[in-house]
Amino acid sequence: MTYEEYLSEKKIDPITFKESEPVNWEKLKQEYDNSGSVSFTLNKKFLLNLTRRKYRLKEKEIKPVPVQTVSATTVPARKKPVMR
């Protein structure tokens, strides 16, 4: 997994992050390459949360599928029988 894929998985926009903070990007990329994803996450969790808040990855809009309701066919009411 590349560093860009890792950031996307953590819901951080890698493009915006790289453009806004290139020095911080390179520093974290080198640390990620040296340690791996699990160790990097454990060591940089606080920093990743701050970065996620700044550079939130926009999720694709999912339009809900309209639910079609099936109406039951109505039977006309019958007269009640008269008991005598």
Whether the CB-CB separation of 42 and 52 falls below 8 Å is answered with no
Q: How does pLDDT run across 1-48, given as a tens digit for each residue?
A: 899 999 999 999 999 999 999 999 999 999 999 998 899 999 999 999
pLDDT in tens, 42-67: 999 999 999 999 999 887 655 666 66
Q: What is the pLDDT of residue 62?
A: 54
**Which is more confidently placed, 43 or 70?**
43
Q: What is the pLDDT of residue 60?
A: 66
Domain residue extents for the chain: 3-54
